[in-house]
Homo-oligomer: A and B are copies of this chain.
Amino acid sequence: MAPTTETLTAERILEATEEVLRRYGPAKATVVDVARSLGVSHGSVYRHFRTKAVLREAVTRRWLDRTTEALAGIVAGDGDPETRLRDWLAALFAAKRRKAGGDPELFATYRVLAGEAGEAVGEHIGELIGQLTVIIRAGVDTGAFTSADPATTAAAVFHATDRFHDPCHAREWELPEIQGEFEAVVHLVVRGLRAA
């Protein structure tokens, strides 16, 4: 139980919520559990998050945003666009594998939460495709890539690599051949982007 003198911030509630979800699972975790773990009343939690659904969606967004933030540095980097694209795809795959393999229960929990939070997931995918669009547009500007419509091309790159980031493929990420498959798909995709 945390000292009650510490200010109750939204971030502290979200941290506690993740811990409660990890411990009880998405079906059983309640707002009362979250309040208890913080040593506050459930009313105090509701002052930050109006309903249980709002709290669950916020913790899902926080989880998804961690990935987006980690990749933003690659987008903003000053390497050539092809290198940034390869680094971005590799970093996304690595982050997903780490989440799935490092803490399978929490990953399963977040898959349930993501199923409830369709809008948050849609926005997350939109942000990731937006990051790819920046890299592809940069490649078109330097003459490295060809694309009549970088946003559509970015979506195609994202979907062509679904196998390496969509959680529905998580079981396949443990196969010994997965790294070779990833490299072969990236090779094909990068060739497809290169200026003729």
Contacts and interface: CB of A to CB of B under 8 A. Distances in A.
Nearest to A178: B159
Interface string A175-196: 0000001001101111111000
A161 interface: yes
A103 interface: no
6 contacts: A152-B184, A155-B181, A156-B181, A160-B163, A166-B168, A190-B192
Contacts of A166: 163, 168-169
Contacts of A15: none
Contact of A162 (B169, B184, B189): B169
Interface residues of A, number: 23
A190 to B, nearest CB: 8
Contact of A157 (B156, B162, B188): B188
A163 B156 CA distance: 11
Contacts of A193: 188, 191
Given A162-B163, A168-B169, 9 more contacts: A153-B184, A156-B184, A156-B185, A157-B188, A159-B184, A160-B161, A162-B169, A166-B169, A188-B193
